[in-house]
Amino acid sequence: MNGPVIEHLYVHIPFCPRVCPYCNFFVQPADRRLSAPLVDALITQHRWWRDHSDLRPRTLYLGGGTPSALDTRSLERLMRALLEQVEPEEVTLEVNPTTVSLEKALLLRDLGVNRISLGAQSFQAEELRTLGRQHTPERITATYELLRHAGFRNINIDLIFGTPGGSEQHWAQTLQHTLALRPEHISAYCLTYEEDTPFFERVASGQWAHPDPEREARLFRQAQQVLTAAGYGQYEVSNYARPGYHCRHNSAYWRGQDYLGLGPGAVSTLSGWRWKNIPHVEIYTATWSHASPLTTLQSVTLAPGLALAGSVVDLEALDAQTLRRERLMLGIRTAEGIACERDLTPLLARLADVGLIQIDRQRAYPTLEGFLQADAIAQELFQAVDACIQKDI
């Protein structure tokens, strides 16, 4: 088979029951009129890549947006196409508590989905309202139990801390509610205020106070202490799992491995190139739905064995230094750490002396405090890399 080997596949479904005021992903309110055309386009793009690459995914991740916002018929068509003649080790689908029924859950399990990521965010009713979520704490529990009843044995619960008006007590209660459900995986993210979102505008206008880094650090450490004590290993800054249940798809990102993104707004990194599918449902749909037969699509050869077709934006060639920076930035955020490269030895020794990393067998791993300061460590690594480059010029 010609073309690059693709072992990790991401599919972006941009529809949500309601767009959350803190979200800066490419999403839009769910529209059933667009669902069938979008699925047609996704299937066509998938077939094009299957014909132009060695597509044999070990992991498949459907995110968004809210993939479970698709109607049952659309989901069935899409999953059957994506999993035709392949059996990935891990197939994850993101679920909103208001968009899944027992019928849909049973179908997804039968179609091959073996991992669910449940967007709970909080077990505090007031925090959920602030975050713009439609569900209640009770609905989270009911949906989780429904998923268990449907046979899912690998469930992640997504949480957010640092919500305006929240407290350490509220966060402790959310963590305890989560642990009571006994999920295999827990993601705990600090709320961020991204540009072009209503939350950012509220802070910029003075309606809300600026985030307090000390408060966020306390909440971060609180999650660390509670979740690790309960047997969840922190394998990435914001991710905790029982043994054997880390997310293989996300781990591939963090290791700097190649991946293909399908759908409007989805990003791909392959063979030293990175690009994004145009973040516009109608344009994306028109581009791929009109490709019949598939050879009518105009393609561009980026490198030997790598052709690219469709409406894409932000096409970028990744040089060795960019890839190295990303490998360091992502690696230092994980329990796997980074290799102790020779030109980084003085910096790594100093970071070890102050307790931010530990060094063992030529690898540097973040400590619990190092996880908290991962971004600052990455900046120091970047500066050290840049200094080496300047020295060699």
Cα–Cα distances in Å, from 299 out to 213, 268, 295?
A: 47, 16, 9
**pLDDT of residue 329 exceeding 90:** yes
139-165: per-residue pLDDT in tens?
A: 999 999 999 999 999 999 999 999 999
Specify the pLDDT at position 298: 75
Specify the pLDDT at position 53: 94
Cα–Cα distances in Å, from 165 out to 106, 124, 170, 208, 383?
A: 38, 11, 10, 10, 37
**Which whole number is the average pLDDT over 26-32?**
90
Which amino acid belongs to residue 103? E
- Kindly state the percentage of the chain with pLDDT values over 70: 97
Domain regions of the chain by residue span: 5-254, 320-392
225-237: per-residue pLDDT in tens?
A: 999 999 999 999 9
Closest among 157, 164, 171 to 21, alpha carbons compared: 164
Task: State the average pLDDT for the chain.
Answer: 94
**pLDDT of residue 293 exceeding 60:** no
224-281: per-residue pLDDT in tens?
A: 999 999 999 999 999 999 999 999 999 999 999 999 999 999 999 999 999 999 999 9
335-350: per-residue pLDDT in tens?
A: 999 999 999 999 999 9
**pLDDT of residue 283 exceeding 90:** yes
Bridging pattern class, strands 5-13 and 54-64: parallel
Closest among 120, 127, 113 to 157, alpha carbons compared: 120
Band of residue 291 on the pLDDT scale cut at 50, 70, 90 = low
Based on its alpha-carbon atoms, the radius of gyration of the chain, rounded to whole angstroms, reads 22
Q: Indicate the fold that domain 320-392 takes in CATH.
A: Arc Repressor Mutant, subunit A (1.10.10)
- Kindly state the percentage of the chain with pLDDT values over 90: 88
111-144: per-residue pLDDT in tens?
A: 999 999 999 999 999 999 999 999 999 999 999 9
41-80: per-residue pLDDT in tens?
A: 999 999 999 999 999 999 999 999 999 999 999 999 999 9
Band of residue 386 on the pLDDT scale cut at 50, 70, 90 = confident
Q: Indicate the fold that domain 5-254 takes in CATH.
A: pyruvate-formate lyase- activating enzyme (3.80.30)
Specify the pLDDT at position 295: 56
